[in-house]
Amino acid sequence: MATVQTKYLGGLRTESVHLQSGSKLITDAPTDYHGKGEAFSPTDLLATAYGACVLTIIGIAAQTHGFNIDGAEVHTTKVMGTDPRRIVELITEIILPHNNYSAKERKIIELAAKECPVYNSLHPDMKKTVTFKYLG
């Protein structure tokens, strides 16, 4: 069974439905590629999936080891290349709230970030720059 159903709505816009939940998502082509930039572009979704995946996997690791990352954020910047047009780099800053993480917890966080299935599915030629910022 399919996971997602996507329809072309015209005007370089699509609507995707997550079939299990019914959640909907609109995409639009970016302004630098003939679109209006009124919604996530498909490449924005890749960057979004990466950030959401990293936080989810770190959250699972934190839960397993008895600490939390509530309020954590990921800021992801995609860098586009040409010939062929593609994402050539994802620059990701993982920002963790003030929680006085121990050295062991920081190690768990940083190892978990590398276990994200999206991260591990990206082409090895895509540069992935990941930094961690611990507040407090």
Could you tell me the pTM of the whole model? 0.91
What is the average pLDDT across 76-97?
96
**DSSP 8-class letter at 40:** B
**Mean pLDDT rounded to a whole number for the chain:** 96
Between CA 118 and CA 124 the distance in angstroms is 12
Nearest CA-CA partner of 47 in 21, 16, 86: 86
The pLDDT tens digits of the residues spanning 21-57 come to 999 999 999 999 999 999 999 999 999 999 999 999 9
Cα 131 versus chain centre, distance:
14
